[in-house]
């Protein structure tokens, strides 16, 4: 297939806290023969402000986002929740702000979550990866219900050599992160995490993967506090393989 030019939206929390995920996306797409750009003016899609009720701030960030990625072609992000925000919430943000130009600008964008881009646009499920571990997959709410990524992540994982995919019980139940919910309703959030951790520990997985580092930080933070011996990893890091040097 011909080389595709991809604009990477890394997502602000990945940029700051999980840069390894961004590096993995770059490594993976370049290994597959494509070209990755990183528009340096990007910051945040506005998701946290929007879902916490800060409409004006979210609108300002959404305008900046559409400005940065206007005309960029395929925009790829390793954050299902950010992809869902741009695709599903920007229209609402524009409506609340009384800004039809923002809705139009959002309509012109082509934002893909990484697994959607791999499977639907590039048409690959075997990315040539090897990962000799037992892995469970957590379908995060934004990936599952927000974007409807379906079995794309599982198909990609099934093609990874030496990877043993294990079933996660009650996988489709929310882990309890929910953005600012994790702090505003910390008790309920932790109660949900406790159940998720119980289900993860009932598997024999060494690694729990997902398409959102935010949810993984929440589940992983509880696993770490319990010294559960299961680590979390973004799916991109499994598909990209280890970093050199």
Partner 1 sequence: MSGAVPPAGTPPPPPPPPPRFADAAREALADPSVRRGLREATSAARAGAAGAVADSADWEELRAAGAAVRDRTLLDLDRYLEELEGAVVEAGGTVHWAVSAADAVRVVAGLVRAQGESGAAVADAPVLREIGLAGGLAAAGIAVLDAGAAAAVAVTGVDFMVAETGALVRSGGDAAPAPSAALVAVAGLEQAVPAWRDLEVFLQLLPRASGAGRTAARTVVWSGPVAGDGPAACHLVLVDNGRTRALADPVGRTALRCIGCEACLNVCPVYERTGPAAYGPGGAGPIGAVRVPLQRGVRGAHAASLPFASTLCGACADVCPVKIDLPGLLVHLRGEVVEARRDRPVPAPELAAMRAAAWTLAEPRRYEAALRRGARWGRLLARGGRIGRLPGRLGKWSDARDLPAPPAQSFRAWWGRR
User: Mapped to the 3 state alphabet, what secondary structure does the chain carry?
Assistant: CCCCEEEECCCHHHHHHCHHHHHHHHHHHHHCCCEEECCCCCCCCCHHHHHHCCHHHHHHHHHHHHHHHCCCCEEEECCHHHHHHHHHHHHHHHHHHCCHHHHHHHHHCEEEEHHHHHHHHCCCCCCCCECCCEEEECCCHHHHHHHCCCCHHHHHHHCCECCEEECCCCCCCCCCCCCCHHHHCHHHHHHHHHHHHHHHHHCCCCEEEECCHHHHHHHHHHHHHCCCCCEEEEHHHHHHCCCCC
Q: Does 148 bind partner 1 (CB under 8 A)?
A: no
Q: Does 181 bind partner 1 (CB under 8 A)?
A: yes
Q: Does 14 bind partner 1 (CB under 8 A)?
A: yes
Q: Does 10 bind partner 1 (CB under 8 A)?
A: yes
Q: How far is the CB of 224 from partner 1 (least distance, A)?
A: 4
Q: Which is nearer to partner 1, 160 or 189 (CB)?
A: 189
Q: How far is the CB of 205 from partner 1 (least distance, A)?
A: 19
Q: Does 176 bind partner 1 (CB under 8 A)?
A: yes
Q: Does 183 bind partner 1 (CB under 8 A)?
A: yes
The residue from 2, 41, 71, 98 that contacts partner 1 (CB under 8 A) is 41
Q: Which stretch binds partner 1 (CB under 8 A): 130-138, 159-167, 188-196, 204-212?
A: 188-196
Q: Does 171 bind partner 1 (CB under 8 A)?
A: no
């Amino acid at each position: 297939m011909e080389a595709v030019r991809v604009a990477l939206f890394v997502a602000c929390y990945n940029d700051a806290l999980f840069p390894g995920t961004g590096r993995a996306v770059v490594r993976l797409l370049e290994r597959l023969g494509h070209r990755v750009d990183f528009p340096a003016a990007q910051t945040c899609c506005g998701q946290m402000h929007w879902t916490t009720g800060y409409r004006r701030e979210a609108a300002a960030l959404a305008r900046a986002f559409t400005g940065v990625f206007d005309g960029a072609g395929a925009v790829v992000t390793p954050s299902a929740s950010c992809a869902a925000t741009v695709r599903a919430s920007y229209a609402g943000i524009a409506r609340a702000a009384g800004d039809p130009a923002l809705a139009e600008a959002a309509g012109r964008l082509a934002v893909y979550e990484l697994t959607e881009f791999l499977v639907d646009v590039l048409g690959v499920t075997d990315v040539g990866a090897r990962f000799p571990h037992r892995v469970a997959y957590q379908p995060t709410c934004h990936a599952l219900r927000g974007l409807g990524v379906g079995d794309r992540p599982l198909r990609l994982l099934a093609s990874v050599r030496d990877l043993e995919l294990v079933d996660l019980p009650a996988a489709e139940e929310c882990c309890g992160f929910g953005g600012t919910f994790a702090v505003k309703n910390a008790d309920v959030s932790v109660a949900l995490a406790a159940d998720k951790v119980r289900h993860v520990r009932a598997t024999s997985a060494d690694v729990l993967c997902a398409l959102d580092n935010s949810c993984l930080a929440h589940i992983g933070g509880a696993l770490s506090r319990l010294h559960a011996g299961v680590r979390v990893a973004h799916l991109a890091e499994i598909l990209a393989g280890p970093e050199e040097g």
